[in-house]
Chains A and B, each alone.
Chain A
């Protein structure tokens, strides 16, 4: 285990701990990732969350009962399924959102959500558009959302708990030889995780190395030939993809596949850069380092 790697992991956990605004956010005056200013006179009571990460976060903050709308993808925790589904969230259905009479709408800060944020604000509904891509983002957005819901103290405890879990995994002994991994996220086009993804960071914290960590994009497109050349020790994939990879002749070009080192990843555990990242890091540590399939 090199000193460089150890310091990188320390840095990741540290970034998580102190990411975010230096001043304690309040209900008004905070600026979101679209540059819009939050202006609430009282804690929000009816919230629509159009991002699975923030949906999970609301339940962790103990204010899940204030959620009045979510996207079709928000299926965790189980209680979220009982909340009305207002669409798939890619192009938010503004009318369906307004129909839930929210006083706060949480959006992922992507270009495709800008129009919706503007329309919602024009209709008099407060919005918070926040990026949630990397490990450090949770520590940054949690205080903002917690303040808007009047749950600042609970927000601090959520951040502390995730940080402690990540630090505990990061402090485990590193493997003697580097454990490299290729993380398959999509076929056609073939996509993996790059250094800009929280999953790449979680792999580092767990003691492994993403073979495409040098790619800056969160989910870069790559060629199978390049994967073969980078020769990862493990290939990680979701349940359906893992079956396909093992059977596909083209994938035999990758040594890890030829030699049977494909790990089926439980995508429900690692799927979001949210409050369950500690659990996700522990899971990766277990399947890659402590008890890899034999």
Chain B
């Protein structure tokens, strides 16, 4: 990838962060935003910028980077451009965990994210075990199929749980399943950022092995690569990375699917480049989508996952056309 493309990507992240902090349902002038950032002026403005917008923007950057990197690693390892964390059990498991917690009345601030993370982790492990039991190793095709089936099972479990839930619980469950950065708080954000950074570093470290894997399983094995082990650990790390984002912001679709394609279209040639470029682009995309979610229908807020899908589907169709 050329240097000016990297500069462009970093500029996009900075620009997205700036419009994310400057824009919102309450119109603040540039001067007011700047003053609020420095902690001066109207205390309500300071509270809006420091307490609401800043954590939201940072959470958006972290979640977008995590989802995009996770998608990149999975697509490269499973050698399938449709592979993404949500297709491999993460979304189903997380949703089942969160909805179960909601309908059981466990509404403490940290409980729903924890339940979502636990559900996602459980689903990921089940998918891996199913793939091993069926094919004896982590066969990419079996992993994908096991992911789809586990996802369907989780959806059924959610429907059962919601059948007896109250109207408001159903609304919260739907809202959570469409993703939102609305609950961004520094305390929980710290942990998610730490977790996502660790996942990014791990995946970047293993990126060279993934490149070898792209030559095909036999070629990779003949070069001395432990195909089975690499596939399994990248799958686990990428899925758990996505699970952490789900705990922070619910389900935000299409980021893991389309952003890796954007990174490749920008000229990223190997897995490590694609990973880093996708992380930057993913962060910028989620922050901008969240700004749209906050402002388009004000004073109401749109579900973030719906906005990313509205942006993502046309892009994906356009990419399909260019693959012809």
Contact = CB atoms under 8 A, between A and B. Distances in A.
B186 A253 contact: no
A188 interface: yes
A193 B107 CA distance: 22
A224 B56 CA distance: 12
A250 B300 contact: no
A152 B168 CA distance: 35
Interface string B156-171: 0000000010111011
A188 B177 CA distance: 11
Nearest to B295: A223
Contact of B44 (A220, A221, A255): A255
B187 A231 contact: no
B95 to A, nearest CB: 14
A240 interface: yes
B284 to A, nearest CB: 21
A212 B25 CA distance: 15
A88 interface: yes
A225 B171 contact: no
Interface residues on B, range: 35 or more
A5 interface: no
Interface stretch (B45-53, B190-198, B212-220): B45-53
Contacts of B294: 223, 225
Interface centre among A188, A240, A244 (most CB of B within 10 A): A188
Nearest to B53: A225
Nearest to A230: B299
B184 interface: yes
A229 B49 CA distance: 12
Given A90-B167, A228-B48, A255 B43 contact: yes
Contacts of B185: 248-250
B164 A189 contact: no
Interface centre among A222, A225, A252 (most CB of B within 10 A): A225
Interface string A89-129: 01000000000000000000000000000000000000000
A229 B47 contact: no
B24 interface: yes
B214 to A, nearest CB: 41
B168 to A, nearest CB: 5
A186 interface: yes
B168 A228 contact: no
B295 to A, nearest CB: 9
Contact of A249 (B24, B166, B186): B186
B301 interface: yes
A86 to B, nearest CB: 13
Contacts of A255: 43-44, 47
Interface residues of A, number: 31
A215 B298 CA distance: 11
A229 B26 contact: yes
Contacts of A187: 172
Interface centre among B164, B294, B301 (most CB of A within 10 A): B301
Contacts of B44: 228-229, 231, 253-255
B176 A253 contact: no
A240 B109 CA distance: 12
Contacts of A253: 44, 47-48, 51-52
Interface string A222-248: 111110110100000000100010011
Contacts of A244: 109
A221 B166 CA distance: 18
B298 A226 contact: yes
B83 to A, nearest CB: 30
A249 B48 CA distance: 11
B228 interface: no
A90 B303 CA distance: 24
Contact of B301 (A90, A186, A223, A229): A223
Contacts of B183: 188, 250
Contacts of A250: 51-52, 55, 183-185
B43 A188 contact: no
Contact of A220 (B47, B109, B184, B299): B299
B6 interface: no
B175 interface: yes
B159 to A, nearest CB: 12
Nearest to A185: B168
A240 B187 CA distance: 21
A244 B183 CA distance: 12
27 contacts: A88-B164, A90-B170, A186-B168, A188-B172, A188-B175, A189-B171, A189-B182, A190-B301, A212-B299, A222-B301, A223-B300, A224-B182, A225-B52, A226-B298, A228-B44, A228-B47, A244-B109, A248-B109, A248-B185, A249-B185, A250-B52, A250-B184, A253-B47, A253-B48, A253-B52, A254-B44, A258-B43
